[in-house]
A and B are shown apart, each in its own frame.
Chain A
Amino acid sequence: MRGPRPADVGTNRARLVWARVALISVLVIVAGKLVQIQTFDHRRLAAAAERQQVLRTIEHADRGSILDDKGRVLAFSSDARVLYAVPKLIGDQVRQADSIKNKDVDAYKREIAAYLKSELGDAVDEQEVLRKLLGNGTYVTLTGQIEPGKAEKIRAKYPVIGSEYKAARYYPGESVAANIIGYAHWRHDNKRITGLVGLESSRDELLAGSNGERVAGSARGSDMFIPGTDRVVEPAVNGSDLHLTIDADMQYAVQNMVADYATRAGARSAGVVVLDASTAQVRAMANNVTFDPTRFGESTPESRANPAVSTPFEPGSVNKIVTAAAGIEYGLVKPETVLSVPGNIKIADRVIRDAWNHGRIDMTFTGVLAQSSNVGTLMVAQKIGEERYAEFLDRFGLGTKTEVGLPGESAGVVPPRSKWSGSTFANLPIGQGLSMTVLQMAGMYQAIANDGVRIPPRVIKATVDPEGVLTPEPTPPGVRVISPQTAKTVRDMLRSVVQNAPGQVGTGPQAAVEGYQVSGKTGTAQQIDKECGCYSDSKYWITFAGVFPADKPRYVIAIVLDAPSGGNRESRSAAPLFHDIASYLGQRFHVPLSQEDSPVQALTIP
């Protein structure tokens, strides 16, 4: 039986209760803080810890190279360094370092500048470097890209200078195939070389690969890392190499020839495409104007374009091959069929004349082509009919992209069959009212060079992945345009274009090459005069397309000149340029001479 509680026991009990309360509240506070750290702030704190502990560096991937048909390198990458400094800190570092005897900061900076000059020579401007060092910048780059070995040597001597990784892209061929390859440069934000123009840009992902990552334990968030802790978290995947179908030597020669010819002809622009006859691979594709990737800063947007695939034109008489092929294929005419050709012909509401005034003359169909008679062609086209003609335009690949593999390709324009007016069919057979690129024009002639099977041209031959596995690009399916016999017949007929027999002269005798049979077709297309909305009488597209040699085709060459104004031999025809290119090909690639010269074919019957 308890009596009244003594006073001290009662306060004791109260104190106990309060102590208990205090302890429990402390526990609750601690538990609450624990919950807060572990659940709510967990991610933020973990990230902060990682920033302190872990140093992340980029494992740089090597960019793939671009090579030509024979494996010669047209574009490749190499590691480089860029030297930088933080001028504000140099003073502090100089004062702290024991190894620097003379503690005068400015003299030290002069010493650095002099040493950089002695090591790097012309790559660096001593005064500029000195100015940057003496300034107050927080981060100044002292040099352009330099070799990693030299950078290490400089840093070993002057640790205050920092070096940063940078990759450099080299173009040993300079402007050779620049319109195709394009240009790529180091992008600081991507930390890799990125393509800007051409294949470097359109195939950038394939060429670049992907950068990896390396982590290392770092000492309190500084730049130093704990040795032995670094490991590659994600290995870099190098880029793949691109093998082109272009022959670099041919490209160089053709580029020079076209530029020279365009200047002499006074043309606004000019373009040439050389295809391999049997595979339709693009061996050369040149415009008269191109840029030098090693001097990219000096280039203009026009020089960086590739009009050979992007800019269509009206072909003119070169398009008569469609009529010839369809006429022979459907058995409507034979090469020796004689046609009575008047000086003009009326189709729908149009009157089409020939390029020279004449009365009614008897021409063989071969002569119609050799002398490029519009009237004779339209007569045969009428026999072919609109439906079949439209189908043949399609078979020859007009109005459709070739998917050659270059960016910015144009499909050309062919009016759809449903939209044809009466006069459309007066224009199309003579190569007006439709447009094509010089690549498509070459593709048409490749069909007759390849026994009637047209293969869409390609510029990329294969890709080589980082392990060295070569993957050829898939061969595009051929399109059967005409039978092999028709192809041979048309090819033989077109030999007469370069014929130069007395009284039987074709329109392009300058294209003939001694010792070889040559097939081709000249073309002169009127350009649209914007002021009147009609065809101009002074501005033309001068074209030529041909097969070399005609008896055993090896190459197809297509040429376009835009509004040549020189008033000389070169401005009137592209046939001399064809001769130059074909002659070069015959020498350089040891094309065997034709067994026999082209026979003289009757063009007009007197």
Chain B
Amino acid sequence: MTPAVRGQNSRRGTTTRARIGERRDTTAEARVDHPRAERVRERRDAERRDRDGAVRKRVAEQRLVRERTRDQPRRPERVGTDRAAVSGRATTAASTRTESGKRARTSAPVRVRADLVARGRRLVPKSPTGAKAAPFVVLVMTLLGAGLIATLWLSTAAAADSYQLEGLRNDISSLTDQNARLRRDVESREAAPRLADSARDLGLVPVDEVARLVVNPDGSHRLVGKPVPVPAPNTSPLAPPPGAEAPVAGARESDPPEAQTGRSPVENGDGRAGHRG
């Protein structure tokens, strides 16, 4: 029988392993009491005790190194309990059945391949497997997860911000409208026609002739112009009766106009505002 079958037996961990001579298959190796067999047996015990697969891993690596350094087919050895064999139990069983027929006419390289296949070994160097691979997988999964979360969070934030943005835009637009409306209002009220109307409504009257008091340097004053009461407008009920006003005083220093004391006449109005009411 093939070593693979043997491997199966040994993997099951049956007591057959311990018993020499009671093996089912009858390979030459089994019958020979080889010092190597001794080593194999020891190794098998170690493997059986080995729980975390470190021994198995070491054994498999040693085998791989040996294979690479040799260039001729070895005698079929007993199958090691490497991971490929463990995982590929079914396939190796299948392949051994097919390979057994082929063994008779294989040439040397083919036999190597058959050996490798029989041992359940892959033809390419191993990739990280088992415990060594787990961190990498976790890392990749973590990265993907983080990316996904980040994307979700960003788009949620963007959506939330866009609501806020919309709200602010609406605020801006309504405030702009209000601003424009107020500006229109102010400009129209500030303009001369509306001012004149407002002044008229307040009872103010435009003045034609203005009399002025000129203050001389020595403090005395003289009257320039003739104070004439302004005729009251007919419509305004608040207008003071004619003739009751004091003359408007637009006192003036001899030099700059800014030194004028007294009330300066507003456009179309004068101190008569004080008489209202």
Contacts and interface: CB of A to CB of B under 8 A. Distances in A.
B71 interface: no
Given A587-B250, A592-B256, A252 B208 contact: no
A580 to B, nearest CB: 7
A515 B184 contact: no
B187 interface: yes
Contacts of A150: 177
B192 A593 contact: no
A590 B210 CA distance: 12
A73 B187 contact: yes
A165 interface: no
The list of the 3 closest CB pairs from A to B, nearest first, reads: A252-B192, A149-B177, A172-B187
A587 B191 CA distance: 19
Given A252-B193, A515-B212, A593 B224 contact: yes
Q: Is the interface of A mostly helix, strand, loop or mixed?
A: mixed
A249 B194 CA distance: 11
B214 interface: yes
B196 interface: yes
Interface of B: 170, 173-174, 176-178, 180-181, 183-184, 187-188, 190-194, 196, 207-210, 212, 214, 224-226, 250, 252, 254-258, 260, 264-265, 267-268
Given A580-B208, A587-B250, A173 B191 contact: yes
B225 A587 contact: no
Contacts of A514: 209, 224-226
Nearest to A588: B267
Chain A interface size band reads: 20 to 34
A473 interface: no
A511 interface: no
Nearest to A595: B254
Interface of A: 72-74, 76, 78-79, 147-150, 152, 170, 172-176, 248-249, 251-253, 514-515, 580, 583, 586-588, 590-593, 595
Contacts, number: 88
A593 B255 CA distance: 9
Contact of A515 (B177, B208, B224, B254): B224
B265 A176 contact: no
Contacts of A148: 173, 176-177
B210 A583 contact: yes
A72 B191 contact: yes
A147 B177 contact: yes
A593 B252 contact: yes
B184 A593 contact: no
Contacts of B173: 148-149, 152
Given A149-B173, A149-B177, A588-B265, A174 B191 contact: yes
A99 to B, nearest CB: 20
A173 B189 CA distance: 9
A593 B211 CA distance: 11
A176 B267 CA distance: 15
A57 to B, nearest CB: 17
Contacts of B187: 73, 76, 170, 172
Contacts of A515: 212, 214, 224-225
Contacts of A252: 192-193, 196
B192 A176 contact: yes
B233 to A, nearest CB: 15
A253 B267 contact: yes
Nearest to A72: B190
Contacts of B252: 592-593
A150 B174 CA distance: 9
Contacts of A586: 210
A173 B225 CA distance: 33
A258 B190 CA distance: 23
Contacts of B210: 583, 586-587
Contacts of A173: 191-193
Given A514-B209, A590-B264, A595-B254, 13 more contacts: A72-B190, A78-B180, A147-B177, A148-B177, A152-B173, A172-B190, A172-B194, A173-B191, A248-B192, A590-B257, A592-B252, A592-B255, A593-B252
